Chain A
């Protein structure tokens, strides 16, 4: 994800109202009116918040219906949340190389054993 997009996403989530709206959308699609219901604010204010969320790519809006219901877009959220997958890959690969390195490095002779290596 591009840095600019991430900035937008973090900015969108900096506001508790917008976080609550996303929480509502996690339960399923909703119209602007439905999203505004829990809040004491005008519809233009609700729309403004939604525009911020939409610009960040966290929701999409239906084209067909008059009400243009909003739905949560999970892909950007998942990408942002996920530091662990690349970290796991980094360690998997590093451990593979460590294993190869250890196998290749000379073994010290084992004292008093028949199969001791002498090189």
Chain B
């Protein structure tokens, strides 16, 4: 059985776009483009800073109608042109300092993302993988470990949760 904690803490999403890789890469690496597509629904992104290089930041304001702005940042760790981007995503303050999610402490402080681009027949596949970054404290880890068992529990049985916890 795979280690439940690690397996369930990883998020993956893959999308295919009917455009060549060069166009998709441009959309990920230029401020104007990022502002057009990145971010939660219903907000408009204001790019405060984009340093598209390892160690650089993408710092943005998320402006919502009738609600206070939130801020976020990418801290780029690895960039291989037209191939992959690795970055840490987190909320931030307006000075690009790291911050917890304004609405919930449950959100990991930083999420490590890596995205891989591949082109085939004029279409580009974008594969993103994300997981909470860094040391996860014991209490938070407990919740993460509980997750799969809780989902099972919602189906009507707590047996699996019981077994999982007894192994703890």
A binds B: yes
B108 within 8 A of A: yes
Partner-binding segment picked from B50-58, B73-81, B135-143: B135-143
Within 81-119 of A, Cβ neighbours of B (below 8 Å) are at: 81-84, 86-95, 97-103, 105, 107
Range for the number of chain A residues in contact with chain B: 35 or more
Given contact pairs A77-B150, A83-B132, A102-B24, A26 touches B139 in the complex (Cβ within 8 A):
no
B36/A101 in contact, CB under 8 A: yes
Residues of A within 8 A of B36 (CB): 97, 101
Contacts of A89 in B (CB 8 A): 41
User: Among the listed A19, A83, A102, which residue makes an inter-chain contact with B17, where contact means beta carbons less than 8 Å apart?
Assistant: A102
Expressed in whole angstroms, the minimum distance between the Cβ of B33 and any Cβ of chain A is: 7
Residues of B within 8 A of A19 (CB): 142, 168
A-B contact count (CB 8 A): 111
* 8 Å CB contact of A98 from B17, B41, B140: B17
- Asked if B106 is at the interface (CB within 8 A of a chain A CB), the reply is yes
Residues 112 to 168 of chain B near chain A (Cβ within 8 Å):
126, 128, 130, 132, 138-140, 142-144, 146-147, 149-151, 153-154, 158-159, 161-162, 165-166, 168
A sample of 18 inter-chain contacts (CB < 8 A) reads: A6-B104, A13-B139, A19-B142, A22-B165, A23-B165, A26-B161, A26-B165, A28-B162, A74-B150, A74-B153, A77-B150, A83-B106, A86-B107, A90-B39, A94-B38, A97-B37, A98-B27, A107-B19
Closest 5 CB pairs of A and B: A23-B165, A27-B162, A97-B37, A81-B143, A98-B37
The residues of B with any CB-CB pair to A shorter than 8 Å are 11, 13, 15, 17-19, 23-24, 27, 33, 36-41, 104-108, 111, 126, 128, 130, 132, 138-140, 142-144, 146-147, 149-151, 153-154, 158-159, 161-162, 165-166, 168
